[in-house]
Amino acid sequence: MRSTMERFEEYWSGGDPVTMNRFLMKTITPMITIVTSYVLFVTWIGPAIMKNRKPIQMRKLIIVYNFGLVAFYLYFLLRIFDLGYQLLVVRYIELLDTVFLVLSKKFNMITPLHVFHHSIVPVFGWFGFRSESSGYLAVFMAVNCVVHIVMYTYYAIAALGPKYQKYIWWKKYLTSLQILQFFVMTLYTNIMFAIGCTTSKFTFMFCTFLSVLFFFLFINYYKRAYKSEDKQQVTEKNGVTANGIHETNGIHSKNVKQKNGVPAAYRNAMKKEK
Q: What's the whole-number mean pLDDT along residues 216-227?
A: 87
pLDDT band, residue 6 (cuts 50/70/90):
low
260 within a domain of the structure (yes/no): no
213 within a domain of the structure (yes/no): yes
Query: Is the distance from CB of 258 to CB of 243 less than 8 angstroms?
Result: yes
245 within a domain of the structure (yes/no): no
Any idea which of 141-155, 165-179, 237-251 has the lowest mean pLDDT? 237-251
- Give the Cα separation of 272 and 274 in Å (integer): 5
Alpha helices in 132-256 (DSSP H): 137-159, 171-194, 201-222, 228-232
199 within a domain of the structure (yes/no): yes
272 within a domain of the structure (yes/no): no
pLDDT band, residue 13 (cuts 50/70/90):
confident
Residue span of the structural domain in which 161 resides: 14-234
CA distances (Å), 112 to each of 98, 217, 243, 251, 257, in order?
A: 11, 12, 20, 9, 21
At 155 the pLDDT is 93
139 within a domain of the structure (yes/no): yes
Top mean-pLDDT range of 11-20, 148-157, 195-204, 225-234: 148-157
135 within a domain of the structure (yes/no): yes
What 3-state DSSP class applies to 245?
coil
Find the largest Cα–Cα distance for the chain. Answer: 72
Give the residue from 141, 116, 129 showing the smallest Cα distance to 13: 129
Check whether 226 has a pLDDT greater than 60.
yes
Question: Tell me, what amino acid is at 153?
Answer: T
Count of structural domains within the chain: 1
Q: Which residues are catalytic?
A: 117
pLDDT band, residue 64 (cuts 50/70/90):
very high
Condensed to tens digits (0 to 9), the pLDDT of residues 98-138 reads 999 999 999 988 988 889 999 999 999 998 888 888 888 88
- Give the Cα separation of 38 and 115 in Å (integer): 9
Task: State the number of CA atoms in the 13 A half-sphere of 75 facing the CB.
Answer: 10
At 146 the pLDDT is 94
Top mean-pLDDT range of 17-26, 32-41, 128-137, 164-173: 32-41
218 within a domain of the structure (yes/no): yes
